[in-house]
A and B are shown apart, each in its own frame.
Chain A
Amino acid sequence: MASIKIENLVKAYPNRRHHRRKGDPYVPGQMIKVLDDVNLEFADGEMVCILGPSGCGKSTMLKILAGFDTATSGRILVDGREVTEPTSDYIFVFQQSGLLPWMTVWQNVELGVRHMQDEEEKAAQIQEYIDMVELSNFEQHFPHQLSGGMQRRAELARALVVNPDMLIMDEPFTGLDFLTRMKMREEVVNMHEFIGKSILMVTHDIDDALVMADHIVVMGDTPARVKLDRKLTFDRPRDIGTGELAELRDEVYFMLGVSYVV
């Protein structure tokens, strides 16, 4: 379990371009802000979905949360401790497959528990999580021998076997076909309800967020600011076509400047 507090988070990169082009708002050498004073708070065990247009700094925020990147100013506290480096307490699930392609499913899952002393117990635990994501009999397969959805599930098993406090997912459904997406949605929500872990997920898909999240955040503009920060207390399974959820859906679509009625 993990409660997260993001305080005055700012991230800026130096502009690497040497010549100013026409219409370029940035001066060479100047810092370009991607996150501007972001303040957010998530409770223990929440399923959080962060929405926003591409390039708005959502992924950067996740990378800072995971300890892969550092903030320019401000900080992120997890259970009151400031994040300074990666730890296996929060596991990152990557946009494209983060499985190591030269390792089998078994070896990938083993990565997180490689230091367990008792070999039998270790094997049992690896098997348990592989079974949980329904990849029994695929233990000795390499990632390239699996479909996109199976790869994503193998990565989930690898993440969960270390019993992390939190999963950080960066557009985990990218590149999956529609049916696989729908199934993965359901699986992630079930997993969340079953094991009660905090999940922070970045997505492009407004419907993903409305169906899955306990808490949604909409980010926008460059540099990114928080445009909407709301808890969703609706029971699951949810119908996003009617009532309050439908209204919220319209609001979010409007906020992101798009319409689903074409």
Chain B
Amino acid sequence: MLRSISEWRGANQLLPAVAFAIVLVLWELVARFSGWSETVFPGPLAVLGSIGEMVENGTLLQHSAASLYRVTVGFYIAALLGIPLGILLGRVALANVILNPLIQFLRPISPLAWIPLAMLWFGIGDKPAIFLIFLSSFFPIVVSTAVAVGAINPIYFQVSANFCLSRKETNLRIVIPAILPDVVTALRISVSIAWLVVVAAEMIAVQSGLGYLILDSRNALRMDYVMVGMIVIGLIGVFLDYVMRRLGRLESTAWARKS
């Protein structure tokens, strides 16, 4: 009998750890027997030691906080500007005709291509990194919001007209609740993109953050610190996705999953 994913999870709580255990063992074997030195290819135990060390002296927390701060700020600005602009594009045909070609043109340009300009315009420090995060999240949010508005069942607008809802009431009581489930999904996707971009952005213009930690450790030939950076990036990425998924379970979006 084939079991479903949830049945397997219920059968044994440790199953999700199997792949991790295999990778850890292979990693340790390669580190010991490949002939690479400890400096080039540190084993899991050495990296674990480095994690302890960096947690103790506070550098890990400091770098993680710096990265999370930039992602949060850039992402919030993108959502605050992107969602209203998406609604405008979805609701006002003229705005769509005028702005959509520009957005479609800018969208495929990788945020990383903006790095030289970002540094020139915003100098060094948090600002260019936040700007790059903003760019990376802004376009997916705008486009997904506009698509979600376009996909609203026309019946809901007829109901709105029938009960004489004003434009403002239509936006607040019809448009926003109708697009909320799709927007939450779009936010979940863009937060992962933002997290990918922050690491790259921190390799250039800043002196803190997990991206900086990796670049700086490479320059110091501390591959164990590089690996610590990668592990923490992965962990925080999983955590961010978890938070966004919880957001998707809000009561105000429950109707979309059930109807």
Contact = CB atoms under 8 A, between A and B. Distances in A.
Interface in B169-219: 173-174, 177-178, 180
Given A94-B155, A100-B156, A102-B252, A112 B163 contact: yes
Interface residues of A, number: 23
- Interface-central residue, B158, B180, B256, by most chain A CB under 10 Å: B158
Contacts of A85: 161
A91 B160 CA distance: 11
A67 B157 CA distance: 12
A156 interface: no
A87 B164 contact: yes
A150 interface: no
B162 A66 contact: yes
Given A102-B177, A144-B258, A92 B162 contact: yes
A162 B258 CA distance: 29
Given A144-B255, A144-B258, A88 B177 contact: no
B231 interface: no
A142 B156 CA distance: 16
B94 interface: no
Interface string A46-67: 0000000000000000000011
B252 A96 contact: no
Contact of A86 (B162, B177, B252, B254): B162
Interface residues of B, number: 20
Contacts of B259: 101, 143-144
A101 B158 CA distance: 14
A66 B162 CA distance: 8
A98 interface: yes
A144 B164 CA distance: 25
A162 B155 contact: no
Given A94-B155, A96-B155, A101 B255 contact: yes
A162 B162 CA distance: 11
B161 to A, nearest CB: 4
B200 to A, nearest CB: 38
Interface string A80-120: 00000111100110101010111100000001100000000
Contacts of A13: none
Given A87-B164, A100-B156, A100-B174, 16 more contacts: A67-B161, A68-B158, A68-B162, A88-B162, A92-B159, A94-B159, A98-B155, A100-B173, A100-B177, A101-B255, A101-B259, A102-B177, A111-B159, A144-B255, A144-B259, A145-B258
Interface of B: 155-156, 158-159, 161-165, 173-174, 177-178, 180, 252, 254-256, 258-259
Interface of A: 66-68, 85-88, 91-92, 94, 96, 98, 100-103, 111-112, 142-145, 162
